[in-house]
Amino acid sequence: MSHVDDGTLHALVDDELDDTERASIEAHLATCGDCAKRFAEATAMARQVASLLGALDEVPAPVRIQPAAPRVADVGTAPTVARVTPIGRRFVTLRRVALAASVLLVAGVSYQVGQRRPAVTDGSSEAAPTSATAPPQTTLASGAAAPVETIVTRAGPVAPDARVEPRRTAVRVAAVPVASDRGDAIVTARVPTPVVAMAPRAEPLTAPPPAPSVAELTQQKAAAERQAVQASEASLDRAVQATGGQVAQRRTVTADAQDQQRAAPSSDVARAYQRAREVAPSAASANVVAAEPASLGFASPVAPGALAGYRATDEVLKPAVVRRRYVAADGTTLLLTIAPSSTDVAKPTAKASPEFTVSTVNGRSTVRWQVPGLSYELQGALSPDSLVKLATLLR
Amino acid sequence: MGLDLGALFHEYHESLVRMLTRRTGDRGRAEELAQETFARAVVAPPTNPRPWLFAVALNLLREEGRNATTRDRRLVLVKDEDHVAPYVPPDEAYEREETRLQVRSALAQLSERDRDVLLLQAEGFDYDEIAQATGLSRGAIGTTLARARKRLLEVYTQGEGGEHVARG
């Protein structure tokens, strides 16, 4: 058999060949090293392209991990017959949970700043517009000159008797320039145990709405999305509560002079976050989704262990995509990206491989591997061999 | 009639807006185009909605594009103002924006056909559906995708240069 053309290889990657065709191509790949290599390249290409296109997203891309999170109320649809929803919708809730996680974990209720400095409790909640029953504790680092101060507003703890309106509490967060030699401060977000009050789900509209217009549907959908974010956050709060109110989310605040330019937008970010919080409660008067304790689908498989000599920092890169940055003492940086895999759950035989795929571009190597439902990608400026060794440790 | 607009909207709106956002770089415009697309579906109910909707949306985009070729660029610069952004750490946001711009510019260098096929495939279209939405033959889809993927990565990698080498 002659070699396989690119189009066919890509069709194989996309699982678009019929059975006989696929069998014959696979038989060929088993004996032809060149084509097998090109197939591996095509697979990698398809994956890279998918991830690049994902970088353009503001709308969450399809994910294939079944969420344990609650479904959003189907706003605006006629009385439903049980229906199979397409991928794009079915898994959207997980994305929202992850998104909420990224928001909440990083900009949570209470900040404890400073690893090597004494933390001083600062009761300054004068910015709080209402007196919360259990005001969140705010701990601030002391001793830094001219702290950059940002106000983060967040829906505060809601008393069990509160109906719908979440109380809003302003929390002061100080991004403190650190004068230590290393210039790194670890910010740990700690979420106090919030009580989630959910309104009983409202009755559906009195009569099935006759043929809503496109504009109405758009509005309803936007409202539903806001609710989803809110509900996800509520779920997250509960999940956090269930684990003792501790969130092990750390992120590094850069305070090097050279990094200041990058650190500067934090107030913008805080504002954006505040905006996000301001929008969310507006949906609270509509029917609110009951929140179940959510297990964050992406969280559990995310910890493939530490690497000796490397410090790991996790970031939620996109909803449901986590990037772990390993930094060694000498500055060597490895990036581990863990993303839901869009292919191998449905077709474990065709795509799942316990093998590492290795590629090197511009002296930078990438090792990829998969487990059902998740794909891992480890990148670093190391030789492919070293990187594979590290990947083996992680796997 | 026989068209359940609610169901149609529920199933395809998000995917359509995502595809259009990737294509245009502008969420607001994507939403508008999606609305217009659904409005047309009311007028002329499609039998095979998914390829139909996406084909109509892409056509609308082309029509619009003839009159406003420079609009893309201008809108990219202002678009993040309106909608609510999730929290992103600053350095991450920087990196992400960088990547986004590079991908956008790489995508812009593909032929329209390659780009459409790529974006439709990314929305989970199978080759039959892509063929229906684009008017290409099914047999050409694999080849088109192979070329489009390769080209996108080439252009993207060139744009990226050696910039992502680890510190130290």
CA atoms of A347 and B61, how far apart (whole Å): 34
Confidence (pLDDT) at A334: 82
Residue of B nearest to A45 (CA): B149
Which pLDDT band holds residue A132 (cuts at 50, 70, 90)? very low
> Which residue from A minimizes the CA distance to B15?
A88
Cβ-defined contact of B106 to A52 (cutoff 8 Å): yes
**Which residues of chain B are within 8 Å of residue A8 when distances are taken between CB atoms?**
142
Q: Please tell me if residue B48 touches chain A, with a CB cutoff of 8 Å.
A: no
Predicted pLDDT at B40 = 87
3-state secondary structure A39-72: HHHHHHHHHHHHHHHHCCCCCCCCCCCCCCCCCC
pLDDT of residue A37: 93
Among A1-5, A56-60, A85-89, A140-144, which range has the highest average pLDDT? A1-5
Question: Residue A232: which pLDDT band, with cuts at 50, 70 and 90?
Answer: low
Whole-prediction pTM value?
0.42
pLDDT tens-place string over residues A134-176:
444 433 433 434 444 334 434 444 444 434 444 443 334 333 3
User: Would you say the C-alpha torsion A85, A88, A94, A96 has a positive or negative sign?
Assistant: negative
> A295 versus B132: which is more confidently predicted?
B132
Give, rounded to a whole angstrom, the gap between the first and last alpha carbons of chain A.
Answer: 37
**Structure confidence at residue A204 as a pLDDT band (50, 70, 90):** very low
Mean pLDDT of the A351-378 span? 73
Cα A232 → chain centroid: 12
Residue A8 pLDDT > 80? yes
Lowest-pLDDT range, A158-162, A239-243, A378-382?
A: A158-162
Q: Tell me the ipTM for this assembly.
A: 0.78
What residues contact residue A354 under an 8 Å CB cut-off, 6+ apart? A369
Average pLDDT over residues B93-122: 89
pLDDT value for A336: 82
Facing residue for A92 by CB, picked from B14, B38, B88:
B14
Most confident of A57-61, A346-350, B1-5: B1-5
Both tokens assigned to A251? 């992120």
At A255-293, the pLDDT tens digits run 343 444 444 444 554 555 455 444 443 333 333 333 333
Q: What is the CA radius of gyration of chain B?
A: 17
For residue B22, give how far its alpha carbon lies from the nearest alpha carbon of chain A (Å): 5
pLDDT for A383: 80
Residues B115-124: what's their mean pLDDT?
94
pLDDT tens for B48-74 read 899 999 999 999 988 877 666 545 444
Closest CB to B94: pick one of A218, A262, A364: A262
pLDDT tens-digit profile of A327-361?
Answer: 777 777 788 877 776 544 444 443 444 577 787 77
pLDDT of A67 higher than 60: no
Residue A28 is predicted with a pLDDT of 93
Nearest to A89 among B6, B11, B94 (CB): B11
d(CA B132, CA B146): 19
Q: Chain centroid to CA A245: how far?
A: 20
| Chain A closest-CA separation from residue B111 CA (Å) | 16
Closest-CA residue of B relative to A88 is B15
